[in-house]
Amino acid sequence: MSGRIKLSSARRGMAAFLSYAQRIPTIPVARHMKLAPLVQARARLASRPSWSAIFIWSYARVCTEFANLRRVWVSWPRPYLYEHPHPVCTVAIEREHEGERIVLGGHINHPEEACLDEIEEHLRRLQHAEIWSISRYRMALRFGRVPRFLQRLLLWQRLDTSGPRRVKYLGTFGLTNYGKLGAESLHPIGPQTSVLTLGPINPEGEVTVKLVYDHRVLDGSDIARALVRLDEVLHTTTLAELRQVSGRAA
């Protein structure tokens, strides 16, 4: 079957965001990690937190230590950096809507203060709750219905004129996880200052973890240090949390 297919509101909204994000000079930096101890600790749990929850929880702690990871670029009336007091995660969630698979952005505020179980519960709600019951999803679908010239105006007003407003709509970092689908993104595009992504985790616990960063805000050395620290947090704080969860369950 061939012919024209009308764009859904979700697809139109995503196209507008991607058009905005493509103007941002982003660069990916990768680190190969060996997470066998976490794989083993996670395997002992009857109710296992997803790897997305584990990486959100861990990277949020890195962001509390590295203030520059909580900064965003604001371009109007003249360019400056705004530093948010705490990390906010925007996670890409695939949902079924009106017969189409779409990607929507869910927010997790203060992920550094939550326990792993709370983050996992929040992710499950974003994945399974009725779409119109989640305010972020409603906002995204309504945004997609707006004419293109108004979309550009709204994006400028929300993202380019105020640091706190930019964080409100975008968060301070993003996460997209192709690994659970057996694939790896080479350079995901997003408007956040840093976007965390990971590939498949093999049975030995080896995985490639990438941070795609806004070069206007950060330098490659900042991201390299952040990845090293993320590796350390995963093997210390996160591993201890998984073992505590296992102990509580026992």
Dist. CA 217–CA 165, nearest whole Å: 17
**What is the tens place of the pLDDT at every residue in 133-189?**
999 999 999 999 999 999 999 999 999 999 999 999 999 999 999 888 889 888 998
Domains identified in the chain and CATH numbers: 9-249 (3.30.559.10)
Dist. CA 58–CA 151, nearest whole Å: 34
**What is the tens place of the pLDDT at every residue in 60-90?**
999 999 999 999 999 999 999 999 999 999 9
Question: Cβ neighbours of residue 247 under 8 Å, at least 6 residues apart?
Answer: none
pLDDT recorded at residue 248: 58
Is the peptide bond between 77 and the residue preceding it cis, with omega within 30 degrees of 0? yes
**What is the tens place of the pLDDT at every residue in 93-128?**
999 999 999 999 999 999 999 999 999 999 999 999
pLDDT over 70 (residue 249):
no
pLDDT recorded at residue 247: 58
